Amino acid sequence: MGKALEGVRVLDMTHVQSGPSATQILAWLGADVVKIEAPTGDITRKQLRDLPDVDSLYFTMLNCNKRSVTLNMKSEEGKRIFTEMLPKFDILAENFGPGAVDRMGFTWERLQEINPRLIYASIKGFGEGPYTHFKAYEVVAQAMGGSMSTTGFEDGPPLATGAQIGDSGTGMHAVAGILAALYQREHTGRGQRVTVAMQHAVLNLCRVKLRDQQRLEHGPLAEYPNEEFGDEVPRSGNASGGGQPGWAVKCAPGGPNDYIYVIVQPVGWEPITKLIGRPELADDPEWNTPEARLDKLDKMFQLIEEWSIGHGKWEVLARLNEHNIPCGPVLSTKEIIEDTSLADNGMVVNVDHPKRGEFKTVGCPIKLSDSTVDVERSPLLGEHNEDLYMRELGLDEAQYTEFKANGVI
């Protein structure tokens, strides 16, 4: 079976997480992704190592299905080789600190001169303005994109979420931009610049909180559990704050992840009252409409918890789903990595690696019926130097050896 992006070639100058998460998706969709690393390698190869002298899981889980070449972009020969490579590629992706690629001598204008069909994708922390020149990491973007101020409990500090919405979330936005630019190139013949700022991507994911910021102007947010409202959207714990109320209720035996998130749709109320042993509340005007329950959501979830605490979360999941009540047990990372349905869906996959042996990674969440994803291991540093420099660019053995010896590759 062919792959959706077969024939598309990506020069991947990304590092750490945000950029690599984007180019890994492109590789999974069939693009030939060639990662260019400084001869010292992407810093994450060595970060958070669990085994000595072996590429970290940080690296191996974000760089599958890519090839790796080393190239010193600060050497004149390195710049020349890069210039020779560019016309052979469709996409250049990078997420260095602001201005790094320009400082290498490759402004957007210069890149267009070399390859007018090139799509040049950059991830930065911020858009144009006061923060343009600032570096950014995951939680910086969460802080400035609206996530931290709205995450946590009312009486606690702002919290970071474990979901990497600033890094991988931005990466997914970058994929959308790159694919749109590829499609537009079909009509125009021209490449274009794709830029995504981490702050913007997080804000896009926090859209509903700006909805609520504006709703606040017209009164308190009744769907929030908070009792007092100022002029900013407050942290609302585990409340969805959306159209249907939800909360995480405790289950047996009371461990740190023995919780289930339950959503009470209007149609779910009657079966819930029966399940929790309070059938009289189904017709009680104090309880039998969403409006009647709105000012006592905490009490409502307390009643549900009084029932759920006597059962394990998997049993509660089954019982609620018998009545089509939307809910989700809080799964620990251990439960997720051992989950057979996620494995069956190709979402937790085993990959063999020549240095570390078998490891698990998260598979591709985008499923195409005509383009299946085979997750292949990440490349070793410079593993494909000979492929690219000798077989594709035609360096002879002597040049190749010389470039290796003097740190160009």
Ligand X SMILES: CC(C)(COP(=O)(O)OP(=O)(O)OC[C@H]1O[C@@H](n2cnc3c(N)ncnc32)[C@H](O)[C@@H]1OP(=O)(O)O)[C@@H](O)C(=O)NCCC(=O)NCCS
- Member of 136, 272, 297, 408 binding ligand X (CB under 6 A): 136
Rg (CA), the chain: 26
**Count of positions on this chain that bind ligand X (CB under 6 A):** 25
The per-residue b/e assignment along 231-264, b for 16 or more CB within 10 angstroms, e otherwise, is eebbbbbebebeeebbbbbbbeeeeeebbbbbbb
Residue 57 Cα distances to 37, 50, 340, 358, angstroms: 17, 8, 21, 11
Least distance (Å) between residue 260 CB and ligand X: 32
Give the nearer residue to ligand X in terms of CB position, either 32 or 167: 167
User: How far is residue 78's CA from residue 402's CA, in Å, rounded to a whole number?
Assistant: 12
Interaction between residue 123 and ligand X (CB under 6 A):
yes
- Window 70-109: residues binding ligand X (CB under 6 A): 71-74, 95-97, 100, 103-104
Least distance (Å) between residue 350 CB and ligand X: 25
Give the nearer residue to ligand X in terms of CB position, either 136 or 297: 136
Interaction between residue 403 and ligand X (CB under 6 A):
no
Give the nearer residue to ligand X in terms of CB position, either 16 or 119: 16
User: How far is residue 372's CA from residue 65's CA, in Å, rounded to a whole number?
Assistant: 13
User: How far is residue 144's CA from residue 127's CA, in Å, rounded to a whole number?
Assistant: 12
Give the nearer residue to ligand X in terms of CB position, either 173 or 313: 173
Least distance (Å) between residue 398 CB and ligand X: 23
Interaction between residue 38 and ligand X (CB under 6 A):
yes
Write out the catalytic residue numbers.
167
The 10 Å Cβ neighbour count of residue 158 is 13
3-state secondary structure of 193: strand
DSSP classification of residue 312: B
C-beta contacts of 361-368 below 8 A and 24+ residues apart: 361/60, 361/61, 361/64, 362/61, 364/25, 364/28, 364/29, 366/25, 366/28, 366/29, 368/4, 368/29
Least distance (Å) between residue 360 CB and ligand X: 21
Interaction between residue 178 and ligand X (CB under 6 A):
no
Least distance (Å) between residue 357 CB and ligand X: 26
- Kindly state the tokens that stand for 102: 């320009």
CB 167 within 8 A of CB 138: yes
User: How far is residue 154's CA from residue 4's CA, in Å, rounded to a whole number?
Assistant: 46
- Member of 135, 299, 355, 367 binding ligand X (CB under 6 A): 135
Per-residue contact string for residues 190-229; x = within reach of ligand X by CB under 6 A? --------x-------------------------------
Interaction between residue 42 and ligand X (CB under 6 A):
no
Site of interaction with ligand X (CB under 6 A): 16-19, 36-38, 71-74, 95-97, 100, 103-104, 123-125, 135-137, 167, 198
